[in-house]
Amino acid sequence: MREYDFLVVGTGISGLSFALKAAEQGTVAVLTKRKSEDSNTAWAQGGISCVADPEDSFESHVTDTLDAGAGLCDSEVVKTIVESAPDAIDQMISCGINFDRQKNGNFELGKEGGHSQRRILFSKDTTGKEISTKLLNAAKECSNINILEDHFAIDLITTEKLGIEGQNSIVGLYALNEINGEILTFRSNTVVLCTGGCGRVYLYTTNPN
């Protein structure tokens, strides 16, 4: 059995961002069913929306998002994400991620559908690839992070399954080593699933399977 303070499934922007932050507090195992660079994040061509212009505002960004969401958005979640975006961008930049800039050093901001202001940060036409590559580099350089490629998470371990009485909670997972066929047991009180794939809910998507 392998024990870590944190277990993360997925090597996209969510999984790696969490892993880098969690590594400040303890050991982290990041599992991915393929190679570490294989994620939907790496395929993303568009940019990231963030209030980065003095003429823009959080209120405007929230309003645009709720309007585009056709009533399906949770307004409090939208507000939290919008207001957290500048700090998230700063964290990405600290990992070496380069967003396109003007000659004066300001961000080259794009304007996409649904936005009333220019607030799209991008890196050429391969924003996802830039983010994925730089986050992976940072994770690989971190001594507290162990990236396990070709490890397919197959089941969560819960206290209920172990016959432990009380509130049911997740205490680890089982994973298949796809190279040698071995089933491995990972123990952790914090398991974070960052497996993506939401694009597959649509009939048509450019996301890979």
3-state SS, residue 40: helix
d(CA 14, CA 177): 23
184, exposed or middle or buried, with CB in 10 Å at 0-12, 13-18, 19+?
A: middle
Boundary (domain end) residue, out of 108, 125, 142:
125
What digits encode the pLDDT tens for the residues 105-137? 999 999 999 999 999 999 999 999 999 999 999
pTM value is: 0.89
Name residue, tokens 């400040």. 24
Residues 52 and 32 in one domain: no
The pLDDT tens digits for 65-94 are 999 999 899 999 999 999 999 999 999 999
Same-domain check for residues 173 and 189: yes
Q: Is residue 194 located within the same domain as residue 147?
A: yes
pLDDT at 194 over 90: yes
**Residue 78 host element (H or E):** helix 75-94
Residue 208 has pLDDT above 80, yes or no: no
pLDDT of 51: 98
CATH number at residue 2: 3.50.50.60
